Structure 1
Amino acid sequence: MNTRITDPRMFGRVAVAYGGTSAEREVSINSGNNVLEALRASGIDAHLVDGIPALLDALRAGHYARVFNILHGRGGEDGMLQGALDALRVPYTGSGILGSALSMDKVRTKQVWQAIGLPTPRFVAYRPGDDLQTAIASIGYPAIVKPSHEGSSVGISRVFADSDMQAAIELAECYDGELLIEQLIEGAELTVAILGDTALPSIRIVPKGEYYDYHAKYIAEDTQYLCPGLEGSAEDEIRALALTAFSAVGCSGWGRVDVMRSNAGDNFLLEVNTTPGMTSHSLVPKAARSAGIEFGPLCWQILETSLARIPR
């Protein structure tokens, strides 16, 4: 990040956009309250605004100079809000329209990675009415079924046999009209946080249960987080891969790249989050702390990413 601010007054009045109407509303509320507290503790004139309609009304009325976007999921993380803010010429944190829209679409993200030779598990896009048996045959078992446009492990199932596939499809279809059926990579689950042009130390996630689901992410207290998740050249490799994958889909500012590392030691890219959680259980704050950046300075640095979006 090239531009640094030392006086909190230079940010102006900041809207912390949170809440909204997506399936991740409760996580966003938790994140927003934490961000607000940290910004205010740093002397920044920050205020919570719940959802996009209220935010746009306030911006058109001239109440805020910039936006700290912590709206998770649809609306806030898929390019919709970013397009509105660009039209209003209001600077905001995180990725722009392209990076937000593309990374929110798991299928298209993986198609980009696949096209440029980055490693990602085998996958197929599935819509209601498609030939399910053909899709399964191209992936095999075990597999993961997930909505293409959701986050926070919403609607995700692990499938090991034909007898479980229909229930997994029906669950994912509750959230999205396009699904992703993906090869399940057996191994370690890792994530790499991106801050500016830097990849922070990776985190290896060790859930108590079978995998890192919504409960393990936001509720359970027994999930283990090992940071850095790897050592030596393996850690260097996964950080470099995450930076490449992040920029390949047009992302910028800050975010998080999720990776599976197979038992054979091969990395496979899963997805990008452009507005990751900032809760007590969230991974970006854990990675930042490992790099010597506490939560308050982290929020400050994320807010500084809005400086790259100052309208001409």
Structure 2
Amino acid sequence: MKIAVLYGGTSGEREVSLSTGKGIIKALENKGHIVTPIDFSPDKIEEVLKLKVDLVFIGLHGRFGEDGKIQGLLDMLEIPYVGSGVLASALAMDKAKSKQIFSLNGLHTAKSEVYDVTDETRFDRIEKEIKRAFKLPFVIKPNQEGSTLGLSIVKNEKDIRSAIVMAAKSDSMILVEDYVKGREVTVPVMGIKGEEQALPVIEIIPKNDYYDFDSKYKPGGSEHIVPAKVDEKLTTQLKEDAVTAHQLLDCDVYSRVDFIINEENEPIILEVNTLPGMTPTSLFPDSAQEIGLSYDDLIEKFVELSQSNKEKKV
């Protein structure tokens, strides 16, 4: 097949996306596809408009890649692509909106509030509202950002303002939520629409205090335990909750769902990643390896699933 790979981008996750893109390009070439690589940015839309390919593989992360915008452009051009569509991408990227959907459908979420930070003169009021609504420690992060960029775990009231300022650099809306102490796990999901299945659960043991950017992407930054050492009942619940979350947002082909297992042994859903990292240290390929899928085979599987879903739509 002729497949274009969009990667790079302009978000704070550009470096990660460059690594993801290189991995995808190599895997597709190894499988015999003709690949057109595009280090994408909004000023390169002309390259996308001129594309003559069978499929686009989106290896972008963050804004203009994971938020539904590039998906909308490809839809208008009637070019099929791997992964979730406009609505699912936008909903998953908007943490506050997706948490509302999860909570309304019985999935456990941490208590949270969203605040508009477009006007710096309101920061004093926002800080007071946060103090009234939350008990230390709590998390402040951009509402639409990935890879824990702009995230702070606030343990002291004097740090609230700086956490607001840092999160506001990445987004016009910030999310404040209870800090849930527990074990960090993630569950990859993939499959034909309506028949998705969860892959082995992964436990993440970061070398730092929490699973931050360095823990995610620097070699040795975290340990991935696959399958996670959790009992059978909890494993089943995590997998069921992950598939439910994937389907609630109407995700397509694949996603990765992040959880914290709290001290009561309950899975608290954090977010759904519609374009999870596919770098050499990424989680999804680790889980796929456990069921006998090499990196190259995993990428090829995404292509096959995209074709199957396209045929179902027709």
Same fold (TM over 0.5): yes
Q: Which residue of 1 aligns with 2:92?
A: 103
Q: Which residue of 1 aligns with 2:234?
A: 234
Q: What displacement does 1:255 show?
A: 1.1
The one-letter amino acid of 1:179's match is I
Cα distance between partner residues in 2 of 1:136 and 1:226: 37
Is 2:186–2:258's contact at 8 Å kept on the other side of the alignment?
yes
Q: Which residue of 2 aligns with 1:8?
A: none
Q: Which residue of 2 aligns with 1:278?
A: 278
Selected match of 2:112 from 123, 131, 139: 123
Q: Which residue of 2 aligns with 1:149?
A: 144
- The more displaced of 144-153 and 57-66 is 57-66
Q: Which residue of 2 aligns with 1:64?
A: 53
The one-letter amino acid of 2:215's match is A
Q: Which residue of 2 aligns with 1:90?
A: 79
Moved over 6 A (4+): none
Is 2:214–2:221's contact at 8 Å kept on the other side of the alignment?
no
> The residue matched to 1:87 in structure 2 has which SS?
helix
Selected match of 2:176 from 161, 176, 181: 181
Q: 1:188 to 1:65 in 2, by over 3 A?
A: same
Q: 1:114 to 1:101 in 2, by over 3 A?
A: same
Q: What displacement does 1:220 show?
A: 4.2
Aligned pair 1:194/2:193, yes or no? no
Q: What displacement does 1:231 show?
A: 3.2
> Structure 2: 5+ residue runs without aligned partners?
none
- The more displaced of 217-226 and 57-66 is 57-66
Cα distance between partner residues in 2 of 1:73 and 1:305: 23
Q: Which residue of 1 aligns with 2:65?
A: 76
Q: What displacement does 1:14 show?
A: 0.2
> The residue matched to 1:259 in structure 2 has which SS?
strand
The one-letter amino acid of 1:66's match is L
Q: Write the deviation string for residues 165-212 of structure 1: whole angstroms up to 9, x where unpaired.
A: 111111111101100001111010010011111111111111112111
Percent identity at matched positions?
Answer: 36
Q: What displacement does 1:47 show?
A: 2.3
Q: What displacement does 1:58 show?
A: 3.6
The one-letter amino acid of 1:256's match is R
Q: Write the deviation string for residues 8-43 of structure 1: whole angstroms up to 9, x where unpaired.
A: xxxx21001101111111100000001111111111
Q: Which residue of 1 aligns with 2:135?
A: 140
Cα distance between partner residues in 1 of 2:310 and 2:62: 21
Is 1:228–1:235's contact at 8 Å kept on the other side of the alignment?
no
> The residue matched to 1:150 in structure 2 has which SS?
coil
TM-score (norm: length of structure 2):
0.92
Q: What displacement does 1:52 show?
A: 4.8
Indicate the RMSD between aligned Cα atoms, in angstroms. 1.6
Cα distance between partner residues in 2 of 1:258 and 1:136: 27
Q: Write the deviation string for residues 256-296 of structure 1: whole angstroms up to 9, x where unpaired.
A: 00000002201100011100111111100011111211101
TM-score (norm: length of structure 1):
0.92
Q: What displacement does 1:253 show?
A: 1.1
Q: 1:309 to 1:74 in 2, by over 3 A?
A: farther
> The residue matched to 2:261 in structure 1 has which SS?
strand
Q: How many residues align?
A: 301
Cα distance between partner residues in 2 of 1:24 and 1:62: 25
The one-letter amino acid of 1:277's match is G
> Structure 1: 5+ residue runs without aligned partners?
1-11
Q: What displacement does 1:152 show?
A: 0.8
